[in-house]
């Protein structure tokens, strides 16, 4: 059996091992695969593993030996699943491997915004504290999180993990969710979108990207928010209208934003959020802790083993 990993670098830049796949057959690993390289590299493969390399209908139809596609991520929009189903190709993904890592990134952004540790560290390297006439100084707001309202849009595994951390900080938590209010954890209040955006001091996005949630944060929603509010997006870039958010930040409609995802990745150099006032941008790192990537690799191996044993798990087709 020939197993080909099309774009392994994003998951494993060299600090992990691909050896778990070698028990199943001949393994070829490529750091990245351009569209014009796909046919040659995937030819005669029965198994393909992809993170972001697109496998559309044309690509799948050109691979008659292909029986299995393992997506090395939770989102599987890079694969034409309808075409795969028609061609009898099994497609699996990796669910729930990065829950705590993404929740950690939410609060990394929030604490970076409210405490500005990096800002003061840089100022002090340049001598500002040493030259200060007083024992301390600050030059921007220093809000305390306790008592503030944390609004969560979407209440799946990650949203629930974020809620637990917010509650530990002493925050009030509101959630926009399809779940009944009676099943929400103690301390979590169910709220509609209008209430959540207008009353929350922090809004964090954890809903899936669908036609209904695309640009769920738009100019109208941003106008509902408090001028002191903070928006966090570690979900999907297109949940946010980036032009509207940049405008809201630059004009003081909201205080700050922390985003780990953008609508196009890597972003264009002229993406407005890269230069917007009080916008903190990280390069889609929430999933990428070593611990989360180890879990991802372990699940990917287990998915392939289950498929070969005739007991498919985590199938999306």
pTM score, whole prediction: 0.93
Same domain? For 136 and 52 the reply is: no
Is 265 annotated in the active site?
yes
201 belongs to a structural domain: yes
pLDDT tens readout for residues 171-185: 999 999 999 999 999
Evaluated on CA atoms 236, 237, 242, 248, the torsion sign reads: positive
- The pLDDT of residue 317: 83
Is 119 annotated in the active site?
no
Same domain? For 157 and 111 the reply is: yes
- Of 236, 242, 293, 295, which residue is the catalytic one? 236
30 within 8 A of 4, measured Cβ to Cβ: yes
314 belongs to a structural domain: no
Same domain? For 57 and 122 the reply is: no
- Of 23, 37, 118, 265, which residue is the catalytic one? 265
* Domain CATH number, residue 201: 3.40.50.720
Is 215 annotated in the active site?
no
- Of 109, 284, 293, 295, which residue is the catalytic one? 284
Strand, coil or helix: 252: coil
Residue 68: domain span: 2-97+290-308
Same domain? For 111 and 36 the reply is: no
Across the range 202-231, mean pLDDT stands at 97
Backbone angles phi, psi at 256, to 5 degrees: -160, 165
In total, how many domains does the chain have?
2
- The pLDDT of residue 115: 97
pLDDT tens readout for residues 51-90: 999 999 999 999 999 999 999 999 899 999 999 999 999 9
316 belongs to a structural domain: no
249 within 8 A of 229, measured Cβ to Cβ: no
76 within 8 A of 61, measured Cβ to Cβ: no
């Amino acid at each position: 059996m020939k197993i080909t990993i099309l774009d392994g670098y994003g998951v494993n830049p060299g600090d992990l091992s691909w050896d778990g796949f070698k028990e199943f057959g001949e393994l070829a690993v490529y750091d990245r695969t351009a569209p014009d390289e796909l046919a040659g590299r995937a030819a005669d493969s029965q198994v393909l593993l992809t993170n972001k390399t697109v496998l559309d209908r044309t690509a799948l139809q050109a691979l008659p030996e292909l029986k299995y596609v393992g997506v090395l991520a939770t989102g599987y929009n890079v694969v034409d699943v309808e075409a795969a189903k028609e061609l009898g190709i099994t497609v699996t993904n990796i669910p729930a491997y990065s829950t705590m890592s993404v929740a950690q990134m939410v609060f990394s952004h929030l604490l970076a915004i409210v405490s500005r540790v990096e800002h003061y560290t840089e100022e002090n390297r340049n001598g500002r504290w040493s030259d200060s006439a007083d024992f301390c100084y600050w030059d921007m707001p220093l809000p305390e999180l306790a008592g503030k309202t944390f609004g969560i849009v979407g209440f799946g595994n990650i949203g629930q993990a974020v809620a637990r951390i917010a509650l530990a900080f002493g925050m009030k938590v509101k959630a926009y969710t399809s779940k009944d209010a009676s099943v929400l954890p103690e301390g979590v209040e169910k709220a509609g979108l209008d209430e959540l955006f207008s009353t929350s001091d922090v809004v964090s996005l954890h809903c899936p990207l669908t036609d209904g949630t695309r640009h769920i944060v738009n100019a109208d929603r941003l106008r509902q928010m408090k001028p002191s509010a903070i928006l966090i997006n570690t979900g999907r870039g297109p949940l946010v209208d980036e032009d509207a958010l940049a405008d809201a930040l630059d004009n003081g409609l909201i205080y700050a934003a922390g985003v780990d995802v953008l609508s196009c990745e890597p972003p264009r150099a002229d993406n407005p959020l890269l230069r917007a006032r009080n916008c903190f941008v990280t390069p889609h790192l929430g999933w990428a802790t070593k611990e989360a990537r180890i879990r991802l690799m372990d699940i990917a191996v287990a998915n392939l083993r289950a498929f070969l044993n005739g007991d498919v798990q985590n199938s999306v087709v």
